């Protein structure tokens, strides 16, 4: 997302469906990408059982747990061994080691820019919010609430920018 420059080594671009490490897009499998998106959404941590239910609802629990472990191992291989930690019976991204576009947009709209981030005008963030989401999200049954969150952010951002754009038009 060009609208933000994040200081965290991992940046999850939910709006584009990709994960960056030190500014470089990392190639992840479908399962690995879905795991990263889930960890970004459930940033305080999520139990392995819950992750299995979210990511692999059609599988029996034992097979789902195996698939989750393979995904965690793959993400660590691509993003670094410290990228995902298991803490208090939950998987999560390492503390302070990641941020996401949605988190930054939320902090921008709340008037509390995220720590260590350079923010550009709200209108650029709105442009990113108004772009279509990657099509593969449609196959993720758990992603519906995230799409609703994105739609709410887009509406909030549009309300914030409209009065400013009107003032500029009146000055011209």
Q: What is the mean pLDDT of the chain?
A: 84
DSSP 129-141: HHSPPPGGGGG-G
Q: What integer is the mean pLDDT of 28-38?
A: 97
Q: What is the pLDDT of residues 5-22, one digit of tens each?
A: 455 789 999 999 999 998
CA distance 34 to 162: 34
The alpha helices in the chain, defined as continuous H runs, are 30-41, 48-55, 61-79, 101-110, 122-130, 144-171
3-state secondary structure of 98: strand
State the average pLDDT over residues 136-143.
95
Q: Residues, the chain, total?
A: 172
Query: 94 or 120: whose pLDDT is higher?
Result: 94
Two tokens, residue 86: 């298991």
């Amino acid at each position: 997302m060009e609208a933000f420059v994040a200081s965290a080594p991992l940046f999850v671009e939910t709006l584009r469906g990709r994960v960056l490490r030190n500014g470089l897009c990392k190639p992840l499998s479908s399962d690995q990408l879905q795991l990263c998106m889930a960890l970004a959404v459930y940033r305080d941590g999520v139990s392995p059982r819950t992750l299995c239910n979210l990511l692999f609802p059609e599988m029996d629990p034992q097979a789902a747990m195996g698939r989750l472990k393979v995904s965690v191992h793959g993400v660590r291989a691509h993003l670094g061994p410290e990228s995902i930690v298991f803490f208090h019976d939950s998987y999560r991204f390492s503390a302070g080691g990641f941020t996401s576009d949605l988190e930054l947009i939320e902090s921008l709209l709340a008037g509390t820019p995220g720590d260590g981030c350079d923010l550009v005008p709200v209108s650029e963030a709105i442009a990113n919010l108004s772009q279509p989401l990657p099509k593969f999200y449609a196959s993720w049954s758990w992603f519906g609430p995230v799409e609703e969150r994105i739609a709410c952010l887009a509406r909030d951002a549009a309300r914030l920018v409209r009065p400013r754009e009107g003032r500029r038009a009146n000055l011209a």
